[in-house]
Amino acid sequence: MKKIITVLILIFAIFLVGCSNKKLDNNISNSNLTVHFIDVKQGDSTLIISPDNKTMLIDAGDNSQGENIKNYLKKLNINKIDVLVGTHPDADHIGGLDYIINNFEINSFYMPRKSHNTKTFKDVLIAAKNKGLTIKEAKYGVKFKLGNYVKCEILNPVKKYGNDNNLWSAVIKTTYNNKSFLFTGDAEFKNEEDMIKSGANLKSDVLKLGHHGSSTSTSEKFLKIVNPDVAVISCKYKNKYGHPHKETLKLLKKYNIPLYRTDEQGNIVFYCDGNKIWTDKKPGTYNYYGNK
Ligand SMILES: [Zn+2]
């Protein structure tokens, strides 16, 4: 009898060890893509982490946000950015980039070929130069992989756009198996038209709306072609531009597209296993906070 009990205890102990190992394995092999829309007030900063832990940071908010973004990344134990992107030379996108370049190991750095006569822009160039980073051109047709499983494709600028910074916005489609995210910087109607004409496959499950939900971006035609399940807007609560604009909010409501917005919800994280996308947060409202 004693022997039987000993054997049973032994079997139970082996079972327990098996369970705890399994738990450990699950923790080690994180098989999800995660996309973090970091709350940088009025601006953009999006962190993408591939299932094999490669990192891409698209934009870094304005000059005041570098440290906030650094702290966010450090909390996730990130010391290296595999792909850094400055979508276009406006301060609310590239302001914090010099600080990020100075504080992290950077592998590749992409920006469109558009210069800007501001200290903020020069600071980015100086930081890149001091680090020995060459700037790769972000333009239509550029493709790269983020780790072994995630594909990235730059869809804009389709051509040269003169003096308007927004029109030069690098637009990036990121795909993990059957699911895609579209990050549009501050791309405008004209870019949307050009991307549609380019014949690129724009269909995406999550759309980060162009230009903080401005009425000069996200045409109905573009929205219908992208056909997202979820929309995201990055902006400051009650910002002086009135972003997101009424027209954009109305359009999202018309198509019943759940809207996530950093002005209401702070940092927003999406998880994707290649077949489905989920988040811990409930969608935000379609409320307009401007005064027009
Ligand atoms: Zn912007």
- List pLDDT tens digits, range 104-140: 999 999 999 999 999 999 999 999 999 999 999 999 9
Ligand 1 center to residue 254 CA distance, Å? 25
Rounded mean pLDDT, 245-271: 98
Rounded mean pLDDT, 151-172: 98
Q: What pLDDT does residue 291 have?
A: 85
Ligand 1 center to residue 196 CA distance, Å? 22
Ligand 1 center to residue 90 CA distance, Å? 7
Question: 261 pLDDT band (50/70/90 cuts)?
Answer: very high
Ligand 1 center to residue 28 CA distance, Å? 36
Ligand 1 center to residue 92 CA distance, Å? 5
Ligand 1 center to residue 44 CA distance, Å? 7
Q: What pLDDT does residue 2 have?
A: 61
Ligand 1 center to residue 148 CA distance, Å? 31
Question: 9 pLDDT band (50/70/90 cuts)?
Answer: low
Residue 26 has pLDDT above 50, yes or no: no
Ligand 1 center to residue 10 CA distance, Å? 62
Helices and strands, number each (H, E), in the chain: 9, 15
**What residues contact residue 94 under an 8 Å CB cut-off, 6+ apart?**
59, 60, 86, 88, 111, 120, 121, 124
Ligand 1 center to residue 30 CA distance, Å? 32
Do 87 and 44 meet the contact criterion of CB atoms below 8 Å apart? yes
- Cite the beta strand spans of 114-204 per DSSP E: 135-137, 143-146, 150-156, 171-176, 179-183
- Top CATH class of 31-279 equals alpha beta
Ligand 1 center to residue 241 CA distance, Å? 11
Ligand 1 center to residue 211 CA distance, Å? 5
Q: What pLDDT does residue 20 have?
A: 44
Q: What pLDDT does residue 163 have?
A: 96
Residue 8 has pLDDT above 60, yes or no: no
Residue 77 has pLDDT above 60, yes or no: yes
Q: What pLDDT does residue 11 have?
A: 53
Question: 78 pLDDT band (50/70/90 cuts)?
Answer: very high
Query: Cis omega (within 30 of 0) on the bond before 157?
Result: yes
CA distance 59 to 199: 26
Give Cα 160 distance to the centre of its chain: 24
Ligand 1 center to residue 77 CA distance, Å? 28
Q: Provide the residue type at 227 as one letter.
A: N
Question: Alpha-carbon torsion 142, 148, 151, 152, what sign?
Answer: negative
Rounded mean pLDDT, 5-11: 53
Ligand 1 center to residue 19 CA distance, Å? 48
Exposure letters 263-288 (e unless 16+ CB within 10 A, then b): bbbeebbbebebeebebeeebbebeb
Ligand 1 center to residue 35 CA distance, Å? 19
Ligand 1 center to residue 207 CA distance, Å? 16
Question: Alpha-carbon torsion 69, 236, 49, 128, what sign?
Answer: negative
Rounded mean pLDDT, 70-78: 98
Do 203 and 183 meet the contact criterion of CB atoms below 8 Å apart? no
